[in-house]
Homo-oligomer: A and B are copies of this chain.
């Protein structure tokens, strides 16, 4: 378990320049191609690397507004709420958290006005007692993982 320094460099390199292949990566890192290939296979097998899917920007799709909604759920309605929210495309993410039947979900919308529609659709569901929404104004740190990868790689001495 865990990753070493070379694993970290591989991940960082692929994060910076995803288009380069295994061969080019091995050249940049100064190791044999087989090594990079084996490391990548192992990282994928260990679940460290989930995949290389396209990273899609909701804003470019026409959904520039992001919000986080905290939902309070009626006792015993958790399963229903989950199943309902899975069916709402604007719900990008849903977590259950500590607290009194609370959930936290990430929403996107076409505009602030459209956000009202989305929230109504979310909150309109029966099992949801109350919702409080925080609209995102700025995103100083977009979702990132590299600093954590570097820390994990450094600790692996």
Contact = CB atoms under 8 A, between A and B. Distances in A.
Interface of A: 1-3, 11, 14-15, 18-19, 46-63, 66, 68, 70, 82, 85-86, 89-99, 102, 104-106, 108, 134-145, 147-152
Interface of A is mostly: mixed
Nearest to A59: B47
Contacts of A54: 11, 14-15, 18, 49-52
A61 B144 contact: no
20 contacts: A15-B53, A18-B51, A18-B52, A18-B53, A18-B54, A48-B56, A50-B56, A53-B55, A61-B148, A68-B68, A68-B95, A82-B141, A85-B140, A90-B148, A94-B139, A94-B141, A95-B136, A98-B134, A98-B135, A104-B134
A53 B52 contact: yes
A137 B100 CA distance: 12
Give the one of A46, A99, A134, A143 with max B CB within 10 A.
A134
Nearest to A68: B104
Given A137-B97, A141-B105, A55 B61 contact: no
Contacts of A2: 61-62
A132 to B, nearest CB: 10
A143 B145 CA distance: 14
A136 to B, nearest CB: 5
